[in-house]
Each structure stands twice: as structure tokens, then as C-alpha cells.
A and B are shown apart, each in its own frame.
Chain A
């Protein structure tokens, strides 16, 4: 028995070590953003808000932040709309080539971003759409719609199979049933999907970098600063990025888990 306890202790320690490895870069980025050293290391330098002042006074960073917010807000709405339509079609109908249909929707996230970025750049230049915020939004919605589809599809799985037909029998049209039964039922999944797709779009840098042209988003700015040399400004920007995307991902998960639990208790 003692041998097993000893083994368990080693395993738990190992697990904690792995979590430390995963969260180390996030922690240090935040710590270093308040650190006065030009090349951050330990022992830490003085506490300083220098890097925050620097980014607050940089109009380029502001513009990028605005661009990023626009891109991720529009993307999350578009992707969630597309994801909802697809999830509902999959839930409700059988039709020819459904496998192909689903593959078409779910494939993009399995293709390396750099390849999608090159394809998007070439194609959008060809059809005269490159270099605008719209170009990033279109590309991001393709990338994130599958996440929206997956989340909403899981919610539709939990619907009482008779609910929709009951609404029809009571005289509701298909559209009214969608409006008053299906959509309200999917609300938590829709919120979860909005947050998650916004987070993915907010963090995406490869496609944005290729197709954005002069309309840079925050990750593109980071990519450009990092290419020069070590600049602790990145930690300050990164702290905001972490804060934003973590909030979005946590919110997405809380909504997701809440209805998952409720579904199980039913």
C-alpha cells in the first residue's frame, strides 16, 4: 500500500509540474509586463508601468485594438450564424451528400493556418478583396464556424425529440417554432459559441498577417514587434490579449458546462 501511495505522490507531482510548464509562459508574460528591465530575467527589476504607458501612447496599438475588436465581433456573429444553420440542418434533415456537406464545414481547422493564409491571400487578391478588415473576417468565419457548429450541435442533441413536433401540432409554423422553441433552447450554446469563436478570431495571427495589408490586428502588431528584437511592450500587449481571450474562453466554458450539467440531471 505504501508503495502505491509513493507512486501516487510522484504522479500528482508530475501532473503539477506539467501544469506549471503550461502556465509558465502566461505567468511570466504578465509578471514581466510590470518589470522595468529591458531584458526581463530574474532577479526581477523594479515595478514599472513604463510598457503600459508606451503602448497607451502608441496610436498604432490603439488602431490595431479597434481592428481586432471589429474583426472578432463580426466574425463571432457570422460564424455562430453559419454554425447554427449547419448544426440545425444536420440535426433536422437527412439529405444527399450529407457526409460531403459536413466534411466541407468541418475541414478548415485541420488545415495548417499558414496554408489557409497563403490560399486566402492569393484568392482574395484575385477577387479584389485583399487588404481589408473584411478579408480577415471572411477567412476567420470559415476557420471558426466548425467550432460554433460543434457546440450548437451538442446542444441540439439534448432537445426533447418531441418538442419540435409538439409545437407544430399546436399550430406553430416551422418559422415560429424556430423562433420560440429552438432558438431559446439553444441560447446558452449560442452564447458559448459567440465567446469561443471571438476568442479564436482575436488570437489568430497567420491569416491576419497575410491578408490584412495595412489594417493590422493586435496579433499582427505583436508578430511585427517580435521580429525586430526583444521588446517588453509585447508583454504589456500580451497581458491584455491573455485577459481578453481567457475571459472569453472561460465564459464560453461556463455556459457550456452549465447546460451540460442540467442536461445530465434531467
Chain B
């Protein structure tokens, strides 16, 4: 049965309306209110409704805001590049070197941590990476270390990867597993070396899936406050930490809203560019 066209009766509306109402109250409402709030004033720790640009000009004139902005973009970008590169050999193996059954099991196993308490896993890394933690204890048997890993960018990156690596591997694997094997075999039979098969057949055919994986990876890292806060030491605050500090300690909700809106605009632009690139035709079928 094809989708029926637009007949508005009680039956169809019973299924169509609940989510519209719900999303208007609890999604569109909050987001629009946050935009409005960025123009409110705070006097004597109390927020009053107004339409002033002071929060925007205040935030934009602060150096720490821009430092934090570029730092967040750079560290989330670095994390995305590293995660994509680290994931690739694993996804490649899962897509081409193991049986269908093992691949299914591996994806099954990877979905579990993606939905399992990121917070506790990060705390666990905190203990493992600490100066007297497991990794440095292992190094000390080799008379090495102790290495400082907590409160460094390495800590932040490990935290981001805890969040994003399973998802990126899943997306890369599914993308590559869906490539038509005949194309790869054809390239091989025509004398293409394995290295150039990856470069000239597999990667171009997986472009869309890879870009989507990278966009998700970037969004997740860009918006996460746990990794840079607990593992990265938060001396260089990322934008999420800035939101946290401004909201929780400063009572400056309107300024936090400014940061949040800037973040959303940045993410939407990056996602838009990513999706446009992903679906642009670089080669003809």
C-alpha cells in the first residue's frame, strides 16, 4: 500500500498530532525561548525580560569567548580526524576481512557501549590515566614514566573517543560493507594494487558514509563537556564548559544562551557543508 494522501480525519490526526504538540511545547518552545533569553537583562542576579543586545556585545568583546570558541573547534576537529583515522583500519577489517557473522557480532558489541553510561566510562578513564593509575603502573614495570595524561589534551581526546569511536566504527563499517564487491574485484583483476584500491575505489565509494560519520563525531565532541572537564582539566574551557560555568555559578543564563546559540549556528553550518559535500557528485555512475 502506498502512503495515502492527506485525509484529515480523527484517525489520522490521532497519530499525527501528539508529536507535533509535544515537540512544540518541549522542543521548539525551549529553543525559541533560549534565543529570546539571549536578549534578556540580568540585574541583581535576577533575569528581566527585555530586548537588549548587551549580552551579545559583552560576549563578543571578550577574548576568553573567542579563545574558547577556536579552542573548541580545533580540539573537536582534531579529535574527529584522529577518530576517523584510528577507526579506519578497524572498520576496514570488519568490512572486508571477517565473516558476515563476526561483523554482525562486532556491531552488536559496539552498539552496547555507545548507549552505556558515558559518564561512568569517563570517570573510569580518570582513574586509569591518573599519575598513579593503571597505565602508569604498567609503565613503571618497564621503568618508564610516570607520564602526565590527565589534564592534558590527550586526556580530552581519550574522553572524546570513548564517546565517538564505537559510533564512527559502526558507520564506517556499514558503509564499506555495502560497497559492491564486484567493483573491488574488478579493480584487483585490472592490476590495481591494494593501496590504490583503498585510495581510488573504497574511499571514493564510501564518501557519503564517511562524511556523515565525521559530522556526527564532530557534533558529539563539540558538544561534550565531560571529557574536557574531567580528563582535560578545564584550564582551557571549551564552549560547553563555558555554558556550564555561566549557568551554574554565574547565574548569567542570557550569556550562556549566547554561547549556546553560537554553538548551534556553528554546528548547523558544519553539518550543512558536510551533507552538501557528502551528496555532491564527484564522479558519475
Contacts and interface: CB of A to CB of B under 8 A. Distances in A.
Given A18-B90, A18-B165, A119 B260 contact: yes
Nearest to A29: B124
A95 B16 contact: yes
* Interface SS of chain B: helix
A114 B33 contact: no
Interface string A112-138: 111110111111101100000000001
B29 interface: yes
A6 interface: no
A112 B224 contact: yes
A57 interface: no
Interface stretch (A48-56, A59-67, A78-86): A78-86
A95 B120 contact: no
Interface string B174-197: 000000000000000000000000
Contacts of B203: none
Contacts of A253: 108, 111-112
Contact of B127 (A40, A116, A121, A223): A40
Contacts of A199: 115-116
B15 A29 contact: no
Interface of A: 8, 11-12, 14-15, 18-19, 21-26, 28-29, 32, 39-43, 81-82, 85-86, 88-89, 91-96, 101, 104-105, 107-108, 110-116, 118-124, 126-127, 138-139, 141-142, 145, 161-162, 164-165, 174-175, 196, 199-200, 203, 205-206, 210, 219, 222-223, 226, 230, 234-235, 237-238, 241-242, 245-246, 249-250, 253, 257
A219 B119 contact: yes
Contact of B165 (A14, A21, A39): A21
Given A29-B121, A141-B26, A92 B4 contact: yes
Given A101-B20, A105-B23, A122 B257 contact: yes
A170 B26 CA distance: 41
B20 A116 contact: no
* Interface SS of chain A: helix
Interface in B114-145: 115-128, 130, 132-134, 137-138
Interface of B: 1-7, 11-12, 14-16, 18-20, 22-23, 25-31, 33-34, 37, 86-87, 89-90, 92-94, 97-98, 104, 106, 108-113, 115-128, 130, 132-134, 137-138, 161-162, 165-166, 169, 219, 222-225, 230, 240, 243-244, 247, 253, 256-257, 260, 263-264, 267, 271
A42 B112 CA distance: 27
A179 to B, nearest CB: 12
Contact of A104 (B27, B117, B230, B247): B27
A8 to B, nearest CB: 6
A93 to B, nearest CB: 6
Given A29-B121, A42-B137, A230-B126, A119 B31 contact: yes
Given A86-B19, A114-B225, 5 more contacts: A25-B124, A111-B31, A115-B243, A123-B34, A206-B225
Contact of A142 (B27, B97, B125): B27
Contacts of A223: 119
Nearest to A18: B90
Given A141-B22, A196-B115, A226 B230 contact: yes
B165 A22 contact: yes
B22 A82 contact: yes
B20 A104 contact: yes
Contact of A95 (B6, B14, B108, B271): B6
Contacts of B138: 42
Given A15-B94, A93-B16, A115-B223, A203 B30 contact: no
